[in-house]
Amino acid sequence: MSSYSSLASGMFKRWRVRLNFDFWTLGSLLIAAIVLLPVFAVIVLAMFPTENIWPHLMDTVLPGYIRTTLWLMLGVCVGTFIIGTGTAWLVSMCRFPGRGVFEWALLIPLAMPAYVVAYVYTDLLEFSGPLQSMLRDTFGWRTPRDYWFPDIRSLGGAITMMVLVLYPYVYLLSRAAFMEQSVTMLEASRTLGCSPWQSFVRVGLPIARPSIVVGVILALMEALNDFGTVDYFAVRTLTAGIFNVWLHMRNLGGGAQIAVVLLIFIVVLILIERMARRKKRYHTSTRSTPPVRIQLKGWKAWGAVIACSLPILFGIVIPGGQLVIYSLSHYEASWAAGFPIYARNSLMLSAIAAAIAVALGLFLAYAGRLGRGPLLTGCLRMVSLGYAVPGAVLAVGILFPFGYFDNFVDGLMREYFGISTGLLLSGTVFILIYAYVARFLALSYGTMEAGLTRIRPNLDGAARTLGRTPSGVLRDVHVPILRGSLGTAAILVFVDTMKELPATLVLRPFNFDTLATHVYQYAKDEQIELAALGSLSIVLVGLIPTLLLSYTISQSRSGGNTP
């Protein structure tokens, strides 16, 4: 009797385990399929170019585009890595004057649209700008031939602009990693004779590697899908090529082909990195005591202050200050009665997109941790690809499947019931939110996956032994440990949605504005002075939740709720 029942319960258990496994796997596959729909649509579009553009491009601009793109990637990679990890290490591991302020202030440049920063710096640094004028007055130079000054509208300028607004990706992710890192390991390294610098390079960085890599790859994808900055600086990357072929040659398929090449760039990059760290493990033990931050003194303290000030100075104080000046001098012309509504729309879309993206990102990352199929792993690797596609191209990849669906339903209803349902989803807020999630899921999935990697699998085992289901483990064990990563993911998606422009422009409903679309009309007309007030409001509205979340993240470190 008892042996029967134990056999039955054993079978039941096995069955349930398999069911659970299926739930997570199937759920992930479903999410991946939905989110990757626009990417597939772009790949399908790429199969039907109106003519073969490659011979022409190969012979002319393509080699230059590729070279420029590679340099841009290299520059952004190195720049965001150094600034992002350096400042993150300082604020999470050391104590120096102003550390508490730097901790959140280093995030602010994230809220600045890159093209706005580019406009402002061009005004400041070009020949007739205040800096060069001052130099000329001081030294008696007159024409540009009298002296040398770096040209802001150049590849170097574009890299600088992007690093200034993109380093916070790396900063946020590596800070989350450093904070979730086991302090004991670092202390052990110090006891074994490492200097603080050595323990950063030999222990801190390697353990945080998955997070740092995610941050850098996100920054790279963002750099690749940027069009505003490179266009303004006349830096010709592959992205510029996409728009030329699509809009000027009226060859959507050809443009989509270049977009696919961009995707391949990213995939190769991810694969190389994965191969390089194969078989290495990055778990740390669970958090123990909150670390004692090293007190920096003398020139070291000042060095830390300067290192943390510079990105803030160049990323927000100078461009933000200039925007304030423009806003004040052009206040009458740039204030719009609709601002509260635009702000509400932006906030609403960003909050919903962030909530959905965080939930889905967590689900996928955890499924990846549970999952054991190559199919699932492969799917998860691809989930981030939407982020590497320029927004306008991704929007087109969304328009066609949704339009097809709406018209299909409408056709059925007309045929069988004689009523027209019109467009159910196209041109609604729903499609906008879908677009944001499809585009920005990379941010939350990447953050979450990197966070989970740091948690030892034996913790899952222990919790399962204690009777938790996989979802119970996630809820009771991982989510509390991952609070920092959850907050980081939410900030990233929130702020990126606030700034998102090209997809919003073309997908939005009638009579619907966000702060970003409002700013764009002036930026497009080359009137940065009138765009300033709107740009500032993006920063301010994006800032409040960012600071709140940043606060929760730093709170999450002070122990307390360790499971």
Partner 1 sequence: MPMKKIFKRSAKVALTASIAAASLFSVAASASEVNVYTDRQEFLIAPLLEAYTEATGTKVNVVYASGGMEERIKAEGRNSPVDVVLTVDVGRLVDMVNEGLTQSVTSPALEANIPAEFRAEDGSWYGLTFRARPVYASKERVDPSEINSYLDLADPKWKGRICTRPGDHDYNLGLLAAMIYHHGEETAREWIEGVKSNLARAPQGNDRGQVKNIYDGLCDLAIVNTYYMGAMLASDEQRPWAESVNLLFVDQDTVGTHINMSGAVVARHSPNLDQAIELLEFLSDDVAQQMYAAGNTEYPVKEGVERSDIVKMWGEPKFDAESPGAIAEYKGLALRIMNEIDYNAGP
Binding positions for partner 1, 147-186, rule CB under 8 A: 153
Distance separating alpha carbons of residues 84 and 488, to the nearest angstrom: 14
| Part in contact with partner 1 (CB under 8 A); list of ranges 90-98, 121-129, 269-277, 468-476 | 121-129
Determine which residue in the list 55, 64, 321, 340 makes contact with partner 1, applying CB under 8 A: 64
Residues 396-415 close enough to bind partner 1 by CB under 8 A? 396, 399-400, 402-404, 406-407, 410
Residues 180-219 close enough to bind partner 1 by CB under 8 A? none
Q: Smallest distance, Å, CB 71 to partner 1? A: 15
Distance separating alpha carbons of residues 370 and 282, to the nearest angstrom: 17
Q: Smallest distance, Å, CB 430 to partner 1? A: 6
Q: Which of 377, 364, 472, 469 is nearest to 18 (CA)?
A: 469
Residues 339-398 close enough to bind partner 1 by CB under 8 A? 348, 351-352, 355, 359, 392, 395-396
Determine which residue in the list 423, 456, 468, 547 makes contact with partner 1, applying CB under 8 A: 423
What is the number of H-type helices and E-type strands within the chain?
27, 2
Q: Smallest distance, Å, CB 454 to partner 1? A: 21
Taking CB under 8 A as the rule, does residue 502 contact partner 1? Answer: yes
Taking CB under 8 A as the rule, does residue 143 contact partner 1? Answer: yes
Distance separating alpha carbons of residues 563 and 554, to the nearest angstrom: 18
Contacts of 500 (CB under 8 A, 6+ apart): 391, 436, 439, 516
Residues that bind partner 1 (rule: CB under 8 A) add up to a total of 72
Contacts of 351 (CB under 8 A, 6+ apart): 494, 545
Distance separating alpha carbons of residues 336 and 385, to the nearest angstrom: 37
Nearest-10 Cα torsion for 43, 45, 50, 56: -30
Q: Which is nearer to partner 1, 5 or 143 (CB)?
A: 143
Contact present, 116 and 315 (Cβ < 8 Å): no
Determine which residue in the list 371, 427, 484, 534 makes contact with partner 1, applying CB under 8 A: 427
Q: Which of 540, 523, 530 is nearest to 111 (CA)?
A: 540
Contacts of 520 (CB under 8 A, 6+ apart): 501, 505, 531
Q: Which is nearer to partner 1, 252 or 473 (CB)?
A: 252
Q: Smallest distance, Å, CB 9 to partner 1? A: 33
Q: Smallest distance, Å, CB 31 to partner 1? A: 17
Residues 506-525 close enough to bind partner 1 by CB under 8 A? 506-513, 517-518, 520-522, 524-525
Q: Which of 357, 334, 550, 330 is nearest to 444 (CA)?
A: 357
Contact present, 72 and 158 (Cβ < 8 Å): yes
Structure tokens, 17: 């385990």
Q: Which is nearer to partner 1, 387 or 522 (CB)?
A: 522
Q: Which of 7, 5, 561 is nearest to 286 (CA)?
A: 561
Q: Which is nearer to partner 1, 59 or 137 (CB)?
A: 59
Contact present, 395 and 389 (Cβ < 8 Å): no
Taking CB under 8 A as the rule, does residue 561 contact partner 1? Answer: no
Distance separating alpha carbons of residues 461 and 455, to the nearest angstrom: 12
Element (H, E) at 502: helix 502-507
Determine which residue in the list 20, 122, 285, 309 makes contact with partner 1, applying CB under 8 A: 122
Indicate the angle between helix axes 528-557 and 114-125, nearest 10 degrees.
120
Q: Which is nearer to partner 1, 274 or 524 (CB)?
A: 524
**For residue 284, what is the DSSP state?**
B
Taking CB under 8 A as the rule, does residue 127 contact partner 1? Answer: yes
Q: Smallest distance, Å, CB 426 to partner 1? A: 6
Determine which residue in the list 161, 308, 486, 495 makes contact with partner 1, applying CB under 8 A: 486
Determine which residue in the list 244, 257, 346, 514 makes contact with partner 1, applying CB under 8 A: 244
Q: What is the 3-state secondary structure of 436-452?
A: HHHHHHHHHHHHHHHHH
| Part in contact with partner 1 (CB under 8 A); list of ranges 19-27, 71-79, 183-191, 230-238 | 230-238
First to last CA, the chain: 40
Q: Which is nearer to partner 1, 45 or 177 (CB)?
A: 45
Q: Which of 222, 234, 265, 243 is nearest to 70 (CA)?
A: 265
Q: Which of 170, 155, 154, 153 is nearest to 119 (CA)?
A: 153
Q: Smallest distance, Å, CB 135 to partner 1? A: 14
Q: Which is nearer to partner 1, 314 or 512 (CB)?
A: 512
Q: Smallest distance, Å, CB 486 to partner 1? A: 8
Site pattern 299..318 for partner 1 (x: CB under 8 A): --------------------
Q: Smallest distance, Å, CB 517 to partner 1? A: 7
Q: Smallest distance, Å, CB 8 to partner 1? A: 37
Contact present, 164 and 117 (Cβ < 8 Å): yes
Determine which residue in the list 100, 130, 144, 290 makes contact with partner 1, applying CB under 8 A: 144
Determine which residue in the list 13, 14, 250, 277 makes contact with partner 1, applying CB under 8 A: 250
Taking CB under 8 A as the rule, does residue 95 contact partner 1? Answer: no
Q: Smallest distance, Å, CB 508 to partner 1? A: 6
Q: Helical H runs in 330-428?
A: 331-334, 339-370, 374-382, 391-417
Site pattern 429..468 for partner 1 (x: CB under 8 A): xx--x-----------------------------------
